[in-house]
Amino acid sequence: MGSANGGFREIPRTGNPMVDAALQRMQERNDSRFRDIEDAMVVQAHLEKKMSEVLRRHAELLASQDESLERHKLRMEEFDDKLNALIDIIMRRESGSAPG
């Protein structure tokens, strides 16, 4: 590759002027360390993309679990109401008073 920047791809700016300047100097010198950094950046970008997907799926799982817990809580409240009604009926029978 006979490009003006030593055959390297154009690197994105980091937003930190000191880091950007150091990367630019390394690129201009055709420094092998720049190739290492470039490779590390590619790997880092891949890992960040993969972890972003894992975090998204995890967030979806947590949301699903929250929904399940809310449904369970509602069903348990309904169960408690029914159980308390049955207990009340049994208590009334034992005391001799008729339900109603």
Q: Examine residue 4 and state whether it is found in any structural domain, yes or no.
A: no
Q: Examine residue 9 and state whether it is found in any structural domain, yes or no.
A: no
State the total domains in the chain.
1
Tell me, yes or no, if the pTM score tops 0.85.
no
What tens digit of pLDDT does each residue of 37-78 get? Answer: 888 888 899 999 999 999 999 999 999 999 999 999 999 999
The type of residue at 26 is M
**Distances in whole angstroms, Cα of residue 64 to Cα of each of 21, 56, 60, 79:** 46, 12, 6, 22
What tens digit of pLDDT does each residue of 1-45 get? Answer: 344 445 556 677 788 888 888 877 777 777 677 778 888 888 899
Q: Examine residue 6 and state whether it is found in any structural domain, yes or no.
A: no
- 8 in Cβ contact with 37 (< 8 Å): no
The CA distance from 60 to 51, in Å, is 14
Judge whether residue 91 has pLDDT over 50: yes
The CA distance from 26 to 79, in Å, is 70
Domain that holds residue 25: 17-95
